[in-house]
Structure 1
Amino acid sequence: MQRCLEKQAIEWLAAAATDPGRCKREWDQGTGTALLPAGRFWDVLSVPERLGLCALDLLRRDPLEPPAPTLADCAAGRIGFFLPPDPGSEWTGSGVRRVGRGSWVAVPPPYRAAGRLGWLVPPDGTGTLHDPAALEQALREATGLLAVLAPVSRQ
């Protein structure tokens, strides 16, 4: 069963590539990462690591919302939330960047980390993405929590 889900996740993620076969070969034989175009099947909201980890923790509180693909870039200290493409959306906040049409995202395969990139929540192959409204609420709540904790962490 696990292998079947992994195969579905690989196919779903590779489908975003201009050449899915080449994408899968890069994962298996190349650098371990593939550059995939954003804006077709998904956008990525990239946020600072502390904010992203806190928001992801808040999102996981709702047992009715399945976890959605979330990528960590350990070297850059960023968390990427995969959400539906929306060229008209505007996300604002310190260090918040939306990666959409015309941009590329380096991603490892769903079954393992590659260098500095790893999945906190790998894609499951069903196309599940973060709900933008729920993600926005979690980011707002996380921002508030981090603001309260900041004076404590300085001591």
Structure 2
Amino acid sequence: MDTRRIGDPPRDVCDVVTVPARQGLEAVDIIRRGAGEGVGPVIHDDGCDTLGFLVPPGTAAAWDVPGSTCTGADGRGLHLDPAPEPPVDGSDWLLPPGEADPATDPAVLRAALGEAARLIEAADSCR
């Protein structure tokens, strides 16, 4: 049964938060270790320089995390079923749809990215 209301965006429309791969991988681990909050689909670029977290539509309007960008879907749907090709040429799924939650909660991602940045800074200062 479809529980969306008139005007709700399609379920498969997502914004994408892009971060450096090192910070993103740390954030994936942090979220997975968290208490019950899951990580949604994540894509990586061909060179593995960046990761893209799929987040709910509208996230881009308020996203302000330094070192990351959030691109709005602008009504363009990313069809996540059954096993989609990555949405960008030269990318691949780190966590494909179907093996992840529908989208990563922006508040959970924001906290995980902050913790990841602190961990990376601490590790780099020990060299």
Identical-residue share of aligned pairs (%): 30
* Aligned residues of 2:13 and 2:75 also touching (Cα < 8 A): no
TM-score under structure 1 length normalisation: 0.59
Cα distance in 2 for residues equivalent to 1:66 and 1:126: 7
Size of the aligned set, in residue pairs, is 113
Alignment correspondent of 1:122? 96
Task: Select the structure of larger CA radius of gyration.
Answer: 1
Give the partner amino acid of 1:134. V
1:127–1:53 distance in 2 versus 1, CA, 3 Å: closer
Q: Cα deviation per residue 1:71-109 (whole Å; 9 max; x = unaligned)?
A: 111326000000001152122312x111114498x9xx9
Unaligned ranges ≥5, structure 1: 1-15, 17-39
Give the partner amino acid of 1:138. A
**More helix per residue:** 1
* Aligned residues of 1:68 and 1:123 also touching (Cα < 8 A): yes
Alignment correspondent of 1:73? 45
- The structure 1 segments of at least 4 consecutive aligned residues displaced by more than 6 Å after TM superposition are 111-115
Cα distance in 2 for residues equivalent to 1:131 and 1:149: 27
TM-score under structure 2 length normalisation: 0.71
Give the partner amino acid of 1:92. V
Q: Which residues in structure 2 correspond to 1:3-152 (within 5 Å)?
A: 41-62=13-34, 64-75=36-47, 77-86=49-58, 87-94=60-67, 96-102=68-74, 110=83, 116-124=90-98, 128-152=102-126
1:62 CA drift (Å): 2.7
